[in-house]
Structure 1
Amino acid sequence: MNTPSEDFLQHIRYEKRLSHHTVTAYANDLAQFSSFLLAECNISQPAQADFRHVRSWIVSLVEAELDKSSVNRKIATLRAYFDFLLRRKVIDLDPMTKVRALKMSKRLPIYVEEKPMEMLLNDVEFADTFEGVRDKLVLELLYGTGIRLSELTGLKTVDVNLYDKTIQVLGKRNKHRIIPLTQPLFELIQQYLLLKETEFKGMAEQAVLIVSDKGVAAYPVLIQRIVKRNLTLVTTLEKKSPHVLRHSFATHLLNRGADLNAIKDLLGHSSLAATQIYTHTSLEQLKKTYDQAHPKAKNSSE
């Protein structure tokens, strides 16, 4: 017979159909909570915990100087877990009712300026080999469509519509969205597919779009290495990740006047609130321009 925790993990895996990464994170959070309860409270099952136990665990995490975002993710895990138990009538009271997430200071998304991105994609020479074209395609897809790392590695060859010049992306919560391709990006995909077929002569894993040098499905670390290696050529940003290219995609669109709702749909956000962070970035850019160009701003800083 399964424990309540095992039932919960099966529920989010098979019924809610959350990603493998999310399920693993939830499982790890519950395991850590269970270890704390057993060691500090002599409780063997998380389902037996009450508000005092949850609060004690959160306090211990804060005292251990765990990042606030990580603490809040663990709180979200417990919130989903106890809500599941309450709906299944395993418990009568939800201990998370009085628990609040930690207040976070707003951090603006890190992005690459337009000129460095143009330099990377237009001026840097990529080899005409399979690896060279593949690496450029990775950068162009991340920056040209704003897709997430997991969405890129999950792209199938059949997700590319050569007739409509679009890609179909499977995002969070198993929601599909259609993203248009620019003509240069479309042509690059065609070039890549021909090289892929020639390089591996049908032996590559044809189901997935992006493959490694050995023809197997590209893995996250490979994509991260490609992005970091190439961004290093044009920017001194400390963070050089696929998500930085996603932020760059959204920020550049907004700076050029794109509708916020359209950006929301392209990014696959479930609510506009998640997209509005880019308006802060745009305002910061406006302030920077004002401070550099307006006479009164110059005078006030002297």
Structure 2
Amino acid sequence: MALTEFISYLSLEKNYSSHTVNAYKKDLQDFQEFCSERYEEPNIDNIGYPIIRSWIVSLSEKDTSNRTINRKIASLKAYYKFLQRTGEIGVTPLAKHKALKMSKKIEIPFSEQEMNLVLSSIAYSDDFEGSRDKLIIHILYCTGMRRAELINLKINDFDDAANTIKVLGKRNKERIIPILNETKQLYAEYIAKRNNLEKIQDFEYIFLSKSGNKMYETLVYRIINKYFNDVSAKVKKSPHILRHTFATHLLNKGADLNSVKELLGHSSLASTQVYTHNSIAELKKVHMSSHPRSGKK
């Protein structure tokens, strides 16, 4: 089976992150396990569509969401396309498959008031962790970068003189994001405390744990939840919601969609347009409150 070669292809040629590669690997292993248990066929390279369809039914019966099922099938599609390119198979069994319908997922951003409360009203501890946590929240909100991009920031990426920060995005695509004077001040305060850590293991990276190791993804998630739990009743509080908040607030203030696309590091405008939902809601509110024919006084 060519699964090992496919995983290497995703990592070395496609330059996918380890998180993405592991997601593909798990989806394929789950399907392999299903085929082995249900059909006594551990080799998924020459599986027909009826077996894939039975896996979809099995996932649905376990109350797996259509979104998750579509993601798993997307992993299979990528694998069989790889087998086509390498000459292992002639036709992909998913050639005529149609994705399951999904309800539109609307993520609610934090309000400007909630952001002001987190960044201006909370008393952060006057130590390494307090300085680090505030800088993390500030950078995620003021740059819109992804969580993986944040944890991979290196000291050399921060250009104090040019007021910019270099970000390595998906597929190793670089982009330069402008930073605020407040960002520079918070960064200087954090670095001073960071340099006083007893032992630093990963010195090249900006964000570290208190043990001196490179920051990890679940820690960033816990930091966001810790501080936003005090100011927001929203169910979902995550680094991605801060990215969503960044884009929404810029668009609400009249920012150009193409400019927001470049700041977010999207490859297509369609990816950025998902953030316009709340901007349109804001425009409707302004329209209803301001237009002479709206009936509002």
TM-score, length-scaled by structure 2? 0.93
Amino acid at match of 1:179: I
- In the TM superposition, what is the alpha-carbon distance from 1:42 to its structure 2 partner? 3.0
Provide the residue aligned with 2:33 in structure 1. 35
Provide the residue aligned with 1:92 in structure 2. 90
- In the TM superposition, what is the alpha-carbon distance from 1:215 to its structure 2 partner? 1.7
User: For the residues of structure 1 that align with 2:109 and 2:122, how far apart are their CA atoms?
Assistant: 19
Q: Which secondary structure state, in structure 2, belongs to the residue aligned with residue 126 of structure 1?
A: coil
Give the count of matched residue pairs. 296
Would you say the 8 A contact 2:141–2:242 is kept in 1?
A: yes
Provide the residue aligned with 1:22 in structure 2. 20
* 1:115 and 2:143 matched: no
Aligned counterpart in structure 2 of residue 191 of structure 1, from 186, 189, 192 = 189
Provide the residue aligned with 1:64 in structure 2. 62
Aligned counterpart in structure 1 of residue 238 of structure 2, from 236, 241, 244 = 241
Q: Which secondary structure state, in structure 2, belongs to the residue aligned with residue 177 of structure 1?
A: strand
Shift of the 44–128 alpha-carbon distance from structure 1 to 2, 3 Å rule, reads: closer
Would you say the 8 A contact 1:69–1:104 is kept in 2?
A: yes
Provide the residue aligned with 1:275 in structure 2. 272
Unaligned runs of 5+ in 2: none
Aligned counterpart in structure 1 of residue 205 of structure 2, from 190, 205, 208 = 208
Shift of the 204–197 alpha-carbon distance from structure 1 to 2, 3 Å rule, reads: farther
**Deviation string, structure 1 residues 104-150 (Cα, Å, up to 9, x no partner):** 11122221011121122122232332221111101101111111111
Amino acid at match of 1:192: Y
* 1:265 and 2:262 matched: yes
**Deviation string, structure 1 residues 129-174 (Cα, Å, up to 9, x no partner):** 2221111101101111111111111111111112212111111111
Q: Which secondary structure state, in structure 2, belongs to the residue aligned with residue 179 of structure 1?
A: strand
User: For the residues of structure 1 that align with 2:67 and 2:111, how far apart are their CA atoms?
Assistant: 26
- In the TM superposition, what is the alpha-carbon distance from 1:289 to its structure 2 partner? 4.9
User: For the residues of structure 2 that align with 1:68 and 1:292, how far apart are their CA atoms?
Assistant: 39
Would you say the 8 A contact 1:148–1:243 is kept in 2?
A: yes
Unaligned runs of 5+ in 1: none
Provide the residue aligned with 1:231 in structure 2. 228
- More helix by percentage: 1
1:79-158 aligned within 5 A: 79-158=77-156
Report the identity percentage. 42
User: For the residues of structure 1 that align with 2:293 and 2:41, how far apart are their CA atoms?
Assistant: 65
Provide the residue aligned with 1:181 in structure 2. 179
67-76 vs 251-260, greater mean Cα deviation = 67-76
Would you say the 8 A contact 1:86–1:94 is kept in 2?
A: yes
User: For the residues of structure 2 that align with 1:188 and 1:256, how far apart are their CA atoms?
Assistant: 24
User: For the residues of structure 1 that align with 2:4 and 2:122, how far apart are their CA atoms?
Assistant: 51
**Deviation string, structure 1 residues 201-259 (Cα, Å, up to 9, x no partner):** x7453111011122221112221121111112221111111111111101000000111
144-153 vs 125-134, greater mean Cα deviation = 125-134
User: For the residues of structure 1 that align with 2:7 and 2:16, how far apart are their CA atoms?
Assistant: 10
Aligned counterpart in structure 2 of residue 78 of structure 1, from 47, 61, 76 = 76
User: For the residues of structure 2 that align with 1:23 and 1:156, how far apart are their CA atoms?
Assistant: 23
Would you say the 8 A contact 2:197–2:210 is kept in 1?
A: no
Q: Which secondary structure state, in structure 1, belongs to the residue aligned with residue 153 of structure 2?
A: coil
Q: Which secondary structure state, in structure 2, belongs to the residue aligned with residue 143 of structure 1?
A: helix
